[in-house]
Amino acid sequence: MNVWGLSHSKEGTSVSLEEVPLWAWLAQEACEGFCALTEKLTGFCFISPPEWMFRLRWGRLDADGYTARSAGSVLWRFGQALCGGFGAYRRQKTLTRLPVSYDWVREHQPDAGWPWDGTEEPQE
């Protein structure tokens, strides 16, 4: 199946057309839905566990005060794999990429949001 995407980088804005197997697309969509549901129910998402989860650890800390042996670290790694569809993102193949202007984006995708809507960069 072919899907298109809009991206922004320091090189500018571009529209890409990618070929993605249906199972890979479904895996990524399911992950996004699961993460949104989990965040709604628990207040956090797998890809961004709360700081207190990193204090639930076993084993020693590294010299820089970090350990991969913590509940937060394990949850974060699982979230990264989940949101990647457990490798599904590697199955997509870019067919073409075309540079576009901000005006083109505002005309054809008026709900695209930042940075194409002209507002300042969102603050976290």
Per-residue pLDDT of the chain (124 residues; tens, 9 = 90+): 898 888 888 888 999 999 988 888 888 788 778 878 877 887 777 777 888 888 888 888 777 777 788 888 888 888 888 777 777 767 788 899 999 988 898 888 888 888 887 776 655 5
C-alpha distances out from residue 36 to 39, 46, 48, 106, Å: 5, 10, 12, 27
pTM: 0.58
CA angle 67, 69, 74 (to 5 degrees): 110
Give bridge partners of residue 19 from the DSSP assignment: 2, 93
> Domain coordinates of the chain in residue numbers?
1-20+92-124, 40-91
